[in-house]
A and B are shown apart, each in its own frame.
Chain A
């Protein structure tokens, strides 16, 4: 199971890639394995505000539906248009072409927004849950 070291993570199994004042968000390899085949993703609209720790969408698989939480505070600037056509990208490439949405961060002072887990911390968390 993959946990790329350059990314940050949440307890709700999202990953975040920080690039200056912009963040990309998706769900982790651990999450996509737990869900099974993803059939539909509901992401926030471009321009919508998202709040760290608050649900902002849904990921639906054959057998279940899970809330998607925003890991950061900010404004959604872009959503992955390919997910609608091919939700399976979330399973096959969760950290790459399976990205879900991008956010312009409110907090431009901190290098890393507060409350996120490192790869090491997230790996430990998933081991506990096994």
Chain B
């Protein structure tokens, strides 16, 4: 067999012969936990320049464990920046679409950083750790551009932007049993750690920043730890979770979990040519912040205009999986493009997110709406019938 679909995170190769020989790809970096993944027999992949576990065994088993018990993730490849100083809050209000200055210390918010034209540079979580101290978590692939943009936008004010990526290992415990597993190891009462809150705490006696955030649609925690504590914490969490059904989970499961939860992935639903409004995420844009922000004028114009595209969910009535870049058809005619697609272990059918014209979204047939037009996805020459569903595909019960 030949692999005719690009692996996650890899760019498509250019057609034709290059004029000069291509440079050797750099060896991917190891995280503080790569050795553990190797010992566990994980299938490793180069993801954004990091050697990461794609899966340890069956990615479907890992996905289902997160939905029913808990999964243990190494997220140390993510980028982290601290922004500190008396001008930090104002600098971030100016740099990002959201309003970090309105966060109380100990709270976090999902937000974006946009370019002048309103296109998304990255989607981020911003944690306010103190009056004058913030932590920004960025996608691994965008760490460079995010750092450069933050530094440029904070220039000339009392706000120091420091790349802390190498100072943190990041371990996530995600799933309905996450709190039960982590509770006995944590120095704080997890019932007091609200969703999208963060606390300096101890886990198994090691100092960490503990956050109730995640990318799976389940309850869960992200643990920012010192790199030298990573292996110890992984082992302690694994022991604590052994009786609760906790298993290690890799990037393949991470992607199917976030897709079911309707969460965007930069490079698929978000990109430099996409605005937060396109992705249905206008809530992260605070147009009326005093002092404005980078991209404000372009986004204000976009907010006035009728939208040109809409992000929708699709379920497919066959086993073939709609994938990034496949055409969405309405009554046989091109009507949009798939941004992400995968088999959904929880729904039992292939699911996808896609950008379509708003008029298409308005009339498409789906399980909860009458509709007048049938959708399909062109899966390698086969028009597979698809139905429009509301996002998210999956919502946790509590």
Contacts and interface: CB of A to CB of B under 8 A. Distances in A.
Interface residues of B, number: 24
Interface stretch (A31-39, A74-82, A119-127): A31-39
A95 to B, nearest CB: 16
A62 B1 contact: no
B59 interface: yes
B377 to A, nearest CB: 14
Contacts of B343: 37, 39, 62
A37 B55 CA distance: 10
Interface stretch (A16-24, A43-51, A65-73, A109-117): A65-73
A58 B5 CA distance: 12
Contacts, number: 67
Interface string B15-44: 000000000000000000000000000010
Given A63-B54, A63-B59, A68-B1, 9 more contacts: A36-B54, A36-B55, A37-B60, A60-B321, A62-B60, A62-B342, A63-B252, A65-B3, A66-B2
Contact of A37 (B2, B3, B59, B318): B59
B3 A66 contact: yes
27 contacts: A12-B2, A27-B1, A36-B43, A36-B55, A36-B58, A37-B58, A37-B59, A40-B318, A60-B320, A62-B252, A62-B321, A62-B343, A63-B7, A63-B8, A63-B342, A64-B5, A64-B7, A65-B3, A65-B4, A65-B380, A66-B1, A66-B4, A67-B4, A68-B1, A69-B1, A84-B319, A87-B319
Nearest to A64: B5
Interface string A86-123: 01000100000000000000000000000000000000
B321 A39 contact: yes
Interface of A: 12-14, 27, 31, 33, 36-37, 39-40, 42, 58-60, 62-69, 84, 87, 91
Interface in B250-283: 252, 256
Contacts of A42: 320
A37 B318 CA distance: 17
A58 B381 CA distance: 13
A69 B7 CA distance: 20
Contacts of A33: 43
Interface in B56-73: 58-60
Contacts of A12: 1-2
Contacts of B321: 39-40, 60, 62, 65
A27 B4 CA distance: 16
A65 B5 contact: yes
Given A67-B2, A67-B4, A62 B59 contact: yes
B66 to A, nearest CB: 14
Nearest to B256: A62
Contacts of A66: 1-4
Contacts of B54: 36, 63
B56 to A, nearest CB: 11
Contacts of A64: 3-5, 7
Interface in B310-331: 318-321, 323
Contacts of B8: 63
4 smallest CB-CB distances across A and B, nearest first, come from: A66-B1, A40-B319, A39-B343, A64-B5
Interface centre among A27, A63, A65, A84 (most CB of B within 10 A): A63
Nearest to A42: B320
Contacts of A63: 5, 7-8, 54, 59, 252, 342
Contacts of A27: 1
A58 B55 CA distance: 22
Interface centre among A64, A69, A87, A91 (most CB of B within 10 A): A64
A122 B126 CA distance: 51
B320 A40 contact: yes
A31 B1 contact: yes
A69 B1 CA distance: 6
B382 to A, nearest CB: 9
Nearest to A57: B1
Contacts of B342: 62-63
Contacts of B320: 40, 42, 60
Nearest to A28: B1
Contacts of A60: 319-321
A39 B319 contact: yes
A112 to B, nearest CB: 21
